[in-house]
Amino acid sequence: MAAYNKGLEDVIAGESKLGFIDGSKGLLAYCGYPVEVLAKDSSFLETSYLLLNSILPNKNQLQEFDKALREKRELPKNILDIISKFPPNTHPMVSLQAIVALLGAFTDDPAAEKKTPLLYERSLELIARFPTIVAACQRVKNKKDIIAPNPKLDHSSNFLYMTTGKVPDPEEAHMFDVCLILHAEHSFNASTFAARVVASTLTSLHSSIAAAIGSLYGPLHGGANEKVLEMISQIKSPDTVEKWVLDKFAKKEKIMGMGHRIYSVKDPRSYILEDMLGRLSKKKNNTKSYEVLKKIEEVTCREMQKLGKNIWPNVDFFSGALYTLMEIPSEIFTPVFAIARISGWCAHVIEQLKDNKLFRPECEYTGARNLTYASIETR
């Protein structure tokens, strides 16, 4: 039997041409393009096209892609009616997973989706509708009217508009678009792997994506940026950070947003998020969170280095504070993650089905053997 690695750590479970990571060097690339380049020069739609097609679009292809997504943003009325009836305490990730599964009832025979063109079309629908679903669920949860998509606004601006009710500042909308690029793909993370495993059974795309959402909902995968905000709220000012961090170390408690399963250096995405947070904080004259986070990073890295460990900020460390400045409620931070990652999930499902093999790993049995069965009268 093959060697056992708990959590499949260091086990190669498949092949992919989508996401490349070198954790020791802090490298992340989508289809060969460094994430820093895409964040600087690309857009979320262009990046989504890249992931789905493995090439960057030309001008006409991008315009057609954009047009197709704008036309698919609307949700069926039956779905909107269901969203309006969710209990007010329903977590937005539960709502998102339920609605994605329900949308599967509005599609053709799942078996037909194995044909790549239809699977691609379904992927476009999900990429277009995720922002609509998340914004609608958030509005209903807070007893506000659902705002319909605005076809005149781009993908990122439209989400912010549907969430806040205001057409966003162009600079903030661009920053949010960059955030979506940074979260769009990350190789075989838990939710992406879940999508591929479920897809390998030849079920529908909606079933695979619903499984991915369930995985992202878990606190060990999504939602860390919300925990970072809770951490910041406990700290009165940057001057009190040193004592706060040292107290955490003394109690052997985790510093949220610090460290990553893959990266042994600073997450390349965190540099970009840090820069945007710094700029938007100055623009809005609200620098407390930025200053607190930078001090936490400084003290935590220093103390970890004393222990001979390299712990650096990950993608969640700065993103929550940045979203807050954009007036995005903390309770939908993880659904926002899904709005970005849906492009990567769909791309991985398409890739999985091009050369599919059902996932069926071995299991090392550690239970009892050869027990003697006793009749129920003698137990």
Report yes or no: 35 and 184 within 8 Å, Cβ to Cβ: no
Tell me the C-alpha distance between 85 and 125, whole Å.
23
Burial of 374 per CB tally in 10 Å (0-12, 13-18, 19+):
exposed
Return the closest-CA partner of residue 186 out of 262, 124, 127.
Answer: 262
Distance CA 320, CA 334 (A): 10
Angle between helix 155-164 and helix 44-53 axes, rounded to 10 deg? 120
Token look-up 């040193």 returns 242
Q: Which of 269, 242, 238, 341 is nearest to 27 (CA)?
A: 269
Helix (H, G, I), strand (E, B) or coil at 29: strand
Q: What are the start-end ranges of the H helices in 35-91?
A: 35-41, 44-53, 59-71, 77-84
Active-site residue 260, yes or no? yes
Residue 221 is among the residues annotated as catalytic for this protein: yes
Q: Is residue 319 exposed (0-12), middle (13-18) or buried (19+ Cβ within 10 Å)?
A: buried
Active-site hit among 183, 221, 267, 348:
221
For residue 30, list its beta bridge partners.
Answer: 19, 33
**Encoded tokens for 25:** 């060097």
Residue 348 appears among annotated catalytic residues: no
- Measured distance CA(51)–CA(172) in Å, rounded: 24
Closest Cα partner for 19 from 268, 247, 202, 214? 268
Which residues, in sequence order, are CB contacts of 238 under 8 Å at separation 6+? 288, 291, 292, 294, 295
Catalytic option among 260, 267, 348, 355: 260
Which residues are bridge partners to 33 per DSSP?
Answer: 30
Catalytic residue among 154, 206, 316, 348: 316
For residue 34, what is the enclosing H or E element?
Answer: strand 33-34
Active site residues: 221, 260, 316
